[in-house]
């Protein structure tokens, strides 16, 4: 049975509730003769009343009325998880609305009945015992989403699709290996946000920096909740499409200047002074050395937007690009937009703004991983030039972009 799960928008916050006590409510003066001393009203308050429950996807929603005793400070909810672990939540009286409090208890892997013991407590935990209530969660969201997951082969990876109609986030986990070389393995975990229906390209990698290409693979798919309760395994066998990394030996940036931080028609800026003998320059993105990196200018002021243009020397059919951050540094961007331009569409080689650029999409970038991040274009494009643009909305935790390596791939026939 479907429920109106949006009745409890504060459920996530309740998991991390910190009990905040008002000193004026806790402490009272003992009189002038004992100035500076305080006493605490630690009498056990009355029990909660009007307890109600409602089922959610792997969750139970609880509401109750708090006691009116002056000594009442918080509610403690004790329960046992599907794994047999005893847990509890503490709900401050400050979170109540006109004395009515609510909580969401999540992480149940099935629909078995769960007993909740609800205590109303003084500042030191004194209470008059629990009010107990039993409720059955609905089928967990991860179990429902598992039935919707589909895998579609692509060059360098797969499309993963799902439908999560619930209010609970779910993780889709892919564990995969090569059928011909089982030692080539990889794993990835994707967030299927609450209320999301999506198809997403997921690269299949091994040894961190290598992509599966032209190989038969087994992909074992499971879905999980935030507590890592998991569905059964759904195996898929796919023939991963082939892609080829293009050689970078003859690539360049238009109007490159080795000794200046200033931007040119080929890039917004670079740092030639403050990052060492080689680091900071745009050309380091093409040297196949992840230890070197491009850094937008900081000795001279620079700010978003940023960009760079790669001239590959001739037209290629291209379908993917990957980008790797400056190793060990998350101060870079969080997204970028790709554009491509064929040789014929670049009429005036000195005026890139006049070229016939084709947008290939905007993509999110994770600044918190050293792993190369592969991005697939909507369809293969004929291109001599590739432009990567970083808008103000792509700004990460600093004004800079820092990239160690960029690669371009062709869909090999």
- Which sequence spans correspond to the domains of the chain? 5-135, 141-242, 282-410
Question: Whose CA is closest to 209, among 401, 8, 372, 385?
Answer: 372
Same fold across 5-135 and 282-410? no
- Indicate the length of the chain as a whole number: 413
* pLDDT for res 412: 79
Whether residue 202 contacts residue 174, with contact meaning beta carbons closer than 8 Å, is answered with yes
**Would you say residue 219 has pLDDT above 60?**
yes
Question: What confidence tens digit (pLDDT) does each residue in 291-345 have?
Answer: 999 999 999 989 999 999 999 999 999 999 999 999 999 999 999 999 999 999 9
Please give the CATH topology (third level) of the domain spanning 282-410: Jelly Rolls (2.60.120)
Tokens describing residue 351: 């005026």
Whether residue 240 contacts residue 215, with contact meaning beta carbons closer than 8 Å, is answered with yes
* pLDDT for res 8: 37
pLDDT band at residue 37 under the 50/70/90 scheme = low
**Would you say residue 232 has pLDDT above 70?**
yes
Average pLDDT of the residues in 367-381: 97
pLDDT band at residue 157 under the 50/70/90 scheme = very high
* pLDDT for res 7: 35
Q: What one-character DSSP code corresponds to residue 375?
A: E
Buried b (16+ CB within 10 A) or exposed e, 377-388: beebbebbbbbb
Question: What confidence tens digit (pLDDT) does each residue in 105-147 have?
Answer: 999 999 999 999 999 999 999 999 999 999 999 999 999 999 9
CA-CA distance, 317 to 411, in Å (whole number)? 7
CA-CA distance, 179 to 396, in Å (whole number)? 39
pLDDT band at residue 5 under the 50/70/90 scheme = very low
Tokens describing residue 42: 């630690």
Determine which of 37-41, 81-85, 191-195, 235-239 has the lowest per-residue pLDDT on average: 37-41
Whether residue 311 contacts residue 283, with contact meaning beta carbons closer than 8 Å, is answered with no
Assigned CATH for 141-242: 2.60.40.10
* pLDDT for res 385: 98
pTM, to two decimals: 0.81
Whether residue 226 contacts residue 181, with contact meaning beta carbons closer than 8 Å, is answered with no
Class of 5-135 in CATH? mainly beta
* pLDDT for res 13: 39
CA-CA distance, 385 to 251, in Å (whole number)? 10
């Amino acid at each position: 049975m479907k429920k109106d799960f949006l009745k409890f928008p504060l459920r996530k916050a309740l998991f991390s509730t910190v009990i905040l006590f008002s000193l004026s409510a806790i402490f009272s003066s003992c009189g002038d003769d004992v100035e500076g001393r305080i006493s605490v009203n630690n009498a056990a308050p009355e029990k909660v009343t009007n307890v109600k429950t409602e089922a959610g996807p792997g969750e139970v929603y609880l509401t109750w009325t708090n006691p009116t005793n002056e000594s009442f400070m918080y509610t403690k909810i004790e329960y046992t998880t599907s794994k047999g672990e005893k847990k509890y939540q503490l709900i401050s009286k400050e979170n109540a609305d006109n004395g009515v409090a609510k909580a969401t208890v999540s992480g149940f892997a099935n629909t078995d009945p769960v007993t909740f013991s609800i205590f109303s407590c003084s500042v030191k935990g004194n209470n008059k015992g629990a009010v107990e209530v039993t409720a059955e969660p609905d089928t967990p969201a991860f179990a429902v989403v598992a039935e919707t997951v589909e895998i579609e082969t692509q060059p360098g990876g797969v499309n993963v699709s799902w439908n999560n109609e619930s209010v609970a986030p779910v993780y889709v986990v892919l564990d995969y290996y090569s059928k011909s070389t089982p030692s080539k393995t990889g794993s990835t975990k994707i967030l299927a946000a609450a209320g999301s229906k999506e198809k997403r390209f997921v690269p299949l990698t091994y040894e961190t920096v290598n992509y599966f290409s032209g190989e038969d693979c087994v992909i074992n798919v499971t879905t999980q909740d935030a507590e890592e309760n998991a569905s059964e395994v759904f195996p898929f066998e796919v023939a991963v499409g082939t892609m080829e990394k293009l050689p970078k030996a003859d690539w360049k940036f238009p109007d490159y200047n080795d000794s200046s931080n200033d931007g040119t028609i080929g890039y917004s800026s670079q740092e030639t002074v403050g990052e060492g003998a080689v680091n900071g320059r745009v050309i380091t993105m093409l040297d196949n050395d992840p230890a070197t990196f491009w850094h937008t200018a900081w000795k001279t002021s620079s700010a978003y937007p940023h960009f760079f243009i790669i001239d590959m020397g001739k037209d290629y059919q291209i379908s993917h690009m990957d980008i790797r951050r400056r190793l060990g540094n998350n101060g870079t961007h969080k997204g970028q937009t790709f554009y491509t331009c064929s040789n014929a569409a670049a009429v005036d080689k000195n005026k890139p703004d006049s070229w016939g650029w084709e947008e290939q999409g905007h993509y999110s970038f994770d600044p918190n991983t050293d792993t190369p991040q592969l991005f697939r274009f909507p369809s293969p494009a004929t291109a001599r030039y590739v432009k990567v643009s970083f808008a103000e909305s792509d700004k990460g935790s600093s004004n800079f972009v820092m990239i160690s390596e960029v690669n371009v791939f062709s869909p090999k026939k």
